[in-house]
């Protein structure tokens, strides 16, 4: 048998090349071809012509840094943030919003075409924002030190170095206001402030987490390594309680664990309450500092509409990656029974409080890991519809196997990763029809996109 001839890359490290960017890759890089060889260019935009220098060469592709723009892309807009692209929080502030929506849909199309084995995924247009700035209702600031002065910011792109951020253009303006007040106190008390170092495990202040609700009410958490509030924390709390309209609570969260996990397991109240409430479809949810919840209630309403439209009156619903039940509890008047599976005991406590506060009697929590408990729970509950909202790695193979073996009539799948969504579609396609696929732009100015899929059991 003749050996397959290896192709030698047509570029070398450090070589300068002229390129035309023709596409965007999932991850945000521009895509170009040089002698039919793929080259990825950070910040490259389709329709632009550039000169670039090769920075990395692999067998099947190369990376290049842009040197000069010869022809500007029609999708280019001037970034509103002076820190772009230094700060790693956004990758697409230089792309017009229509272009962002176009390429996010293309990501899903490509993933399904190449990995799902489904010819017609019934893909709708992307549901987007009217105003794609200042949309995040939650932010987790990382403290750092700049020339001896403690600062609040986010990680520099592709690093763990902190970039000072005076205003973030994708977080709620109330969050910017609160972060600015805290930053001023830290700078004023700079001699007392010690910032946590992940490498040495030394230092006191690890994170500052801020969340707001749709009413403009806010909750602030100082994540620290000791259970005692330092003087400057108390001072910041005093400033916030006096200056910020609608602030509801300030807490001290203790995290003594090594590594970059944000929150610890214990908390101490400094001022007010340790939660804020968010009303969704008539249900009041309790949100603590570490509660997982969608970062924008406007987009959550679109997701809930999708879920509700595919749940029949009187259906039994199983929410396998349930959290506090944000996607399933609003169905309580329509469903006959709702079961939420959640591994985090604290989330289950909050879930039960929400049930009590809202007089919901047909919803139940099951403590456990969906990946190991799915089979037993599905057999016991015999649901009419299963809601899957897994992490980026997608649905565990054992969960999909249990869904298929138990012949669940309908599946609603909410995905934050087009590639794992397509992979799971392939596993389901012999047993389920992908009736509808709807992209949702939860994270403008980034390459991330959410995919909502509705599956119906094929007749045997």
Alpha carbon distance 445, 19 (integer Å): 24
Both 306 and 435 in a single domain? yes
Alpha carbon distance 221, 430 (integer Å): 47
6 occurs within a structural domain: no
pLDDT single digits (tens) 424-451 = 999 999 999 999 999 999 999 999 999 9
Q: Quick one: how far is CA 280 from the chain centroid?
A: 19
The DSSP bridge partners found for residue 439 are 451
Both 126 and 142 in a single domain? no
Calculate the average pLDDT of the chain.
Answer: 94
List Cβ neighbours of 184 (8 Å cut-off, separation of 6 or more).
239
95 occurs within a structural domain: no
Choose one of 25, 50, 71: the last residue of a domain: 71
Both 191 and 231 in a single domain? yes
Active site includes 416? yes
Listed residue (276, 257, 277) closest to 265, CA to CA: 257
66 occurs within a structural domain: yes
Q: Pairing between strand 283-287 and 316-319?
A: unpaired
Q: What percent of the chain has pLDDT over 90?
A: 87
Alpha carbon distance 50, 29 (integer Å): 14
Q: Is the pLDDT of residue 3 over 60?
A: no
Q: How many domains does the chain have?
A: 3
416 touches 448 (CB < 8 A): yes
- Domain span at residue 29 reads 16-71
Kindly report the CATH number assigned to the domain that includes residue 44.
2.40.50.140
209 occurs within a structural domain: yes
Q: What percent of the chain has pLDDT over 70?
A: 99
At 6 the pLDDT is: 67
At 297 the pLDDT is: 85
**Helices marked H in 227-275 — which ranges?**
231-243
Both 343 and 219 in a single domain? no
Model confidence at 323, pLDDT cuts 50, 70, 90, reads confident
pLDDT single digits (tens) 205-262 = 999 999 999 999 999 999 999 999 999 999 999 999 999 999 999 999 999 998 778 9
Both 120 and 224 in a single domain? no
pTM across the whole model: 0.93
Model confidence at 138, pLDDT cuts 50, 70, 90, reads very high
288 occurs within a structural domain: no
Both 396 and 257 in a single domain? no
Both 308 and 452 in a single domain? yes
pLDDT single digits (tens) 46-76 = 999 999 999 999 999 999 999 999 999 999 9
Both 430 and 336 in a single domain? yes
431 occurs within a structural domain: yes
């Amino acid at each position: 048998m003749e050996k397959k001839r290896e192709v030698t890359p047509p570029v070398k490290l450090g070589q300068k090349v002229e390129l035309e960017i023709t596409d965007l890759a999932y991850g945000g890089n521009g895509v170009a071809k040089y002698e039919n060889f793929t080259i990825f260019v950070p910040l490259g935009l389709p329709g632009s012509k550039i000169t670039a220098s090769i920075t990395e060469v692999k067998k099947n592709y190369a990376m290049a840094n842009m040197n000069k723009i010869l022809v500007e892309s029609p999708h280019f807009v001037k970034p509103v943030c002076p820190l772009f692209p230094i700060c790693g929080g956004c990758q697409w502030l230089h792309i017009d919003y229509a272009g962002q929506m176009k390429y996010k849909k293309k990501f899903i199309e490509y993933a399904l075409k190449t990995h799902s084995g489904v010819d017609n995924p019934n893909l709708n247009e992307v549901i987007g924002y009217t105003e794609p700035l200042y949309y995040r209702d939650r932010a987790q600031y990382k403290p750092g030190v700049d020339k001896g002065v403690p600062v609040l910011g986010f990680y520099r792109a592709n690093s763990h170095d902190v970039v000072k951020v005076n205003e973030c253009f994708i977080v709620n303006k109330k969050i910017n206001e609160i972060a600015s007040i805290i930053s001023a106190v830290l700078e004023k008390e700079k001699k007392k402030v010690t910032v946590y170092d992940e490498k040495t495990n030394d230092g006191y202040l690890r994170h500052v987490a801020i969340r707001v609700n749709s009413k403009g009410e806010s909750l602030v958490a100082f994540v620290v390594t000791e259970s005692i509030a330092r003087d400057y924390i108390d001072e910041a709390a005093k400033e916030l309680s006096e200056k910020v309209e609608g602030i509801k609570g300030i807490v001290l969260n203790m995290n003594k664990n090594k590594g970059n996990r944000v929150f610890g397991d214990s908390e101490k109240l400094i001022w007010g309450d340790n939660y804020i409430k968010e009303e969704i479809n008539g249900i009041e949810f309790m949100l603590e500092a570490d509660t997982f919840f969608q970062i924008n209630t406007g987009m959550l309403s679109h997701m809930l509409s999708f879920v509700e439209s595919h749940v029949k009156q009187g259906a039994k619903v199983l929410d396998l990656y349930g959290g506090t039940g944000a996607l399933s509890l609003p169905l309580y008047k329509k469903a006959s029974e709702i079961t939420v599976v959640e591994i985090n005991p604290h989330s289950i406590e909050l879930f039960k409080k929400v049930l009590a506060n809202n007089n919901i009697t047909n919803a139940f929590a099951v403590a456990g890991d969906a990946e190991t408990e799915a089979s037993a729970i599905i057999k016991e509950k015999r649901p009419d519809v299963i809601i899957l909202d897994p992490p980026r790695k997608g649905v565990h193979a054992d969960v999909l196997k249990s869904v298929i073996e138990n012949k669940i009539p309908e599946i609603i799948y909410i995905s934050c990763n087009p590639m794992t969504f397509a992979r799971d579609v392939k596993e389901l396609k012999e047993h389920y029809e992908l009736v509808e696929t709807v992209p949702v732009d939860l994270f403008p100015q980034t390459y991330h996109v959410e995919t909502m899929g509705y599956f119906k059991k094929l007749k045997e």
